[in-house]
Amino acid sequence: MFFHDNELQYEVEVEEPDPYFAKMLQQAVGGAEGEMRVALQYMFQAFGVPKEMSEYRTLLMETAVEELGHIEMLATAIAKNLEGAPEEVREQARDDAVIDMMLSGGQPRQALSAGLNAMPVDANGAPFTGNYVVASGNLAADMYANVMAESTGRLLASRLYEITDDPGMEDMLSYLIARDTMHQNQWHAALESLGEHVPVPASFPQEKENQEFNYEFMSTFREEHEDPEQPWTTGTSFDGKGEFSFGRQPGGGEPDLEKAIEEMHNEVN
């Protein structure tokens, strides 16, 4: 069950509208690093949490709904940036300055398809896809995916911050960057609270692994190289269950496939 309050999570102000920046903000809505991705990712992860781990379901769902608020903020910011064009452009433009900016560097579909509002697309206009969402059913795997999602989201917000010089947009992005900091830290805290979980899934018996290769860094160079003696090629493994080593691909002979059945029509003649 969800409830909506008709108030933005954080203030969104635009002092100098910029349709081109509105296009850039679309990446933070419907892009691979965007808020639609994390909102749905955390939500679908929460849906699969068993009742005996309800504290993780609450953590995920609370954060998912917060991210919905971020989508609303960004959609508002996009619309505000599409309300006009910079003063110097208005002075130069013969025709409507907003449309001129949209066609010269903005996202035309924001005008043509959405009436100068945000859309569920990325900065190139590609529709959001659920393929961005990671919800494996394994909490440890999902938490690692969440750390990555927040890291790339923070990276995107930081880049957007560098692009704009609008004080209102800088303030909004500063808030979103701060929330990315919190979310990265909370997912790390959740991982730590799960106890021993490496490698993921930790429930698979490691004695069934091929013991010759489970802690070997495998070089794929054609020429043989010496062990570079890096932390991932020598010493105790991260999980403490093995010793890193350095080796090469074992080789398995050439492929020896049989012909497909005639009904596949793979033959040239």
Measuring CA to CA, which residue among 214, 186, 203 is closest to residue 138?
203
- Verify that 27 and 111 share a domain, yes or no: yes
**Does any domain span residue 11?**
no
Strand partners, 127: 121
* Span 2-36, pLDDT tens digits: 888 999 999 999 999 998 899 999 999 999 999 99
d(CA 39, CA 70): 9
Joined together, the tokens standing for residue 214 give: 């489970």
- Verify that 41 and 165 share a domain, yes or no: yes
**Does any domain span residue 268?**
no
- Verify that 156 and 38 share a domain, yes or no: yes
* CATH at 182: 1.20.1260.10
Q: What is the mean pLDDT of residues 50-62?
A: 97
**Confidence (pLDDT) at 100:** 62
Residue listed under structure tokens 């949209």:
102
* Span 139-183, pLDDT tens digits: 999 999 999 999 999 999 999 999 999 999 999 999 999 999 999
d(CA 219, CA 20): 45
Count Cβ atoms below 10 Å from residue 72 Cβ, excluding itself. Answer: 19
- Verify that 135 and 177 share a domain, yes or no: yes
Joined together, the tokens standing for residue 151 give: 């890291």
Measuring CA to CA, which residue among 65, 53, 40 is closest to residue 190?
53
**Does any domain span residue 4?**
no
**Does any domain span residue 181?**
yes
* Span 130-151, pLDDT tens digits: 999 999 999 999 999 999 999 9
Please give the tally of structural domains in the chain.
2
Residue 103: pLDDT over 80: no
**Does any domain span residue 165?**
yes
- Verify that 41 and 151 share a domain, yes or no: yes
Residue 196: pLDDT over 60: yes
- Verify that 187 and 214 share a domain, yes or no: no
3-class SS of residue 123: coil
- Verify that 56 and 152 share a domain, yes or no: yes
d(CA 14, CA 7): 17
- Verify that 228 and 97 share a domain, yes or no: no
Joined together, the tokens standing for residue 209 give: 């692994």
**Does any domain span residue 183?**
yes
For residue 246, the enclosing domain spans: 205-250
d(CA 228, CA 234): 9
**Confidence (pLDDT) at 117:** 83
- H/E stretch holding 243 reads strand 243-248
Instruction: Please compute Rg for the chain using Cα positions.
Output: 25
Q: Cβ(20)–Cβ(101) under 8 Å?
A: yes
Joined together, the tokens standing for residue 268 give: 């040239």
Residue 97: pLDDT over 50: yes
- Verify that 236 and 112 share a domain, yes or no: no
* Close Cβ partners of 4 (under 8 Å, ≥ 6 residues apart): none
